């Protein structure tokens, strides 16, 4: 019971680290490994608090840290996980290998949060801002945004009034066409092309909010899920059999006391896309041999989840959403590249 306090010391240096300090810390950790942070400053010849050394190492010096711009897929993962877990940066960071919680937190606060607000989405609840007089109107004057108002798929109207009002009716569209009867191919054409990332974020955020509700309802046992299904790949044509399976599984089609279909007028495209997103999520779980909660609800990263598969699934979905060649890069190649870094 005579441990030394970690950060109580005179003459401890604060502020930005110098290159020399970095060198000392790296050198020491390479030789002795991580851990025992309390003793590292003294042993490494640093006038720093052990806690400061740990943070410097974890957030900046660690060799496998990926720095620089966040990819589109990473942004989507952050938004989805934030919708389900809130400001649990460490949890989110576990699903973004090589990214630190601090970096994700900064990126959220400086980029994604503002972007969602610009889109008229509350970054806390991931629901449309009620007080926003002109929700969804980006500040940017991207000429491509002209398409937005024309297509409607990316317009504020396509966002759910609230995630609780997702329409779960089988025949929710205005023309009474069963949502689940449409082929994926035809549904894909409901979305106009767009090169604006913010537009996609708009949609992702809306879905992310619904995921959170679905998961919450599921956790409380108010959703009935079938776990023995083999969902179609997003790129596959739907057979009648698989379509039936989706009908049985799709959480969006299940009656739920948490997801009240009180807004029948909700945009048809959104309903369709919400439906497709559930397929994506299901595929997510099935492919990884686990369920979607492993991604969105777990507090520990699952070693069974392959990063490249996750990224490929995200990419499949994002490509489906926008059909934009800007995003149709080969994520597998990205993964391969990363693996050899």
Partner DNA sequence: AACAGTCTCAACCGCCTCGAG
Partner DNA sequence: TCTCGAGGCGGTTGAGACTGT
Binding site for DNA (CB under 7 A): 1, 3-7, 13-17, 35-38, 48, 50-52, 54-56, 58-60, 67, 87-91, 101-103, 105-107, 109-111, 114
> Which CB, 39 or 247, lies closer to DNA?
39
Query: Shortest approach of DNA to residue 337 CB, angstroms?
Result: 21
Query: Shortest approach of DNA to residue 151 CB, angstroms?
Result: 28
Q: Reduced to 3 states, what is the DSSP secondary structure of residue 128?
A: strand
Q: How far is residue 321's CA from residue 195's CA, in Å, rounded to a whole number?
A: 11
Query: Shortest approach of DNA to residue 274 CB, angstroms?
Result: 28
Which of these, 257, 278, 267, 273, lies nearest to 172 by C-alpha position? 267
> Which CB, 21 or 324, lies closer to DNA?
21
Query: Shortest approach of DNA to residue 46 CB, angstroms?
Result: 11
Distances (CA, A) of 251 to 195, 202, 282, 312, 315: 30, 21, 9, 23, 22
Query: Shortest approach of DNA to residue 208 CB, angstroms?
Result: 17
> Which CB, 5 or 221, lies closer to DNA?
5
Which of these, 102, 109, 4, 99, lies nearest to 56 by C-alpha position? 102
Q: How far is residue 321's CA from residue 315's CA, in Å, rounded to a whole number?
A: 10
Are 126 and 209 a contacting pair, CB within 8 Å? yes
Query: Shortest approach of DNA to residue 90 CB, angstroms?
Result: 3
Q: How far is residue 274's CA from residue 251's CA, in Å, rounded to a whole number?
A: 10
> Which CB, 101 or 307, lies closer to DNA?
101
> Which CB, 139 or 193, lies closer to DNA?
139
> Which CB, 212 or 285, lies closer to DNA?
212
What the block records as the tokens of 250 is: 């799709």
Query: Shortest approach of DNA to residue 103 CB, angstroms?
Result: 5
Count other Cβ atoms within 10 Å, centred on residue 9: 14
> Which CB, 108 or 249, lies closer to DNA?
108
Q: How far is residue 233's CA from residue 195's CA, in Å, rounded to a whole number?
A: 25
Q: What is the torsion angle, in degrees rounded to the nearest 10, for the CA atoms of residue 79, residue 81, residue 86 and residue 88?
A: -120
Give every CB contact of residue 44 below 8 A, 6+ residues apart in sequence: 24, 25, 27, 28, 53
């Amino acid at each position: 019971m005579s441990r030394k306090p970690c950060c109580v010391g005179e003459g401890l240096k604060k502020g930005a680290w110098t290159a020399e300090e970095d060198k000392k810390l790296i050198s020491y950790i390479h030789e002795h490994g991580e851990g025992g942070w309390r003793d590292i400053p003294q042993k490494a010849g640093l006038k720093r608090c052990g806690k400061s050394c740990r943070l410097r190492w974890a957030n900046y010096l660690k060799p496998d840290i990926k720095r620089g711009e966040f990819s589109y897929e990473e942004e989507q993962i952050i938004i989805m996980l934030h919708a389900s877990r809130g400001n649990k940066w460490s949890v989110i960071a576990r699903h973004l290998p090589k990214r630190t919680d601090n970096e994700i937190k900064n990126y959220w606060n400086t980029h994604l949060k503002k972007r969602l607000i610009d889109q008229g989405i509350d970054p806390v609840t991931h629901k449309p801002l009620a007080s926003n007089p002109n929700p969804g109107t980006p500040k940017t004057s991207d000429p491509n945004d002209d398409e937005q108002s024309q297509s409607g798929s990316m317009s504020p109207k396509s966002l759910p009034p609230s995630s609780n009002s997702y329409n779960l009716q089988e025949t929710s569209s205005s023309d009474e066409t069963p949502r689940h009867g449409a082929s994926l191919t035809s549904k894909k054409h409901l979305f106009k092309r767009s090169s604006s990332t913010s537009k996609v974020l708009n949609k992702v955020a809306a879905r992310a909010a619904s995921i959170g509700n679905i998961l919450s309802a599921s956790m409380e046992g108010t959703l009935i899920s079938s776990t023995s299904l083999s969902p179609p790949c997003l790129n596959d044509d739907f057979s009648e059999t698989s379509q039936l399976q989706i009908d049985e599984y799709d959480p969006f089609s299940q009656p739920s006391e948490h997801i009240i279909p009180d807004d029948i007028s909700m945009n048809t495209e959104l309903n369709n896309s919400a439906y497709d997103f559930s397929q994506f999520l299901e595929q997510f779980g099935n492919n990884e041999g686990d369920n979607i909660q492993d991604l969105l609800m777990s507090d520990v990263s699952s070693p069974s989840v392959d990063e490249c598969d996750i990224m490929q699934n995200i990419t499949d979905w994002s490509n489906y959403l926008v059909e934009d060649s800007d995003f149709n890069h080969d994520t597998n190649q990205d993964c391969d590249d990363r693996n050899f870094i």
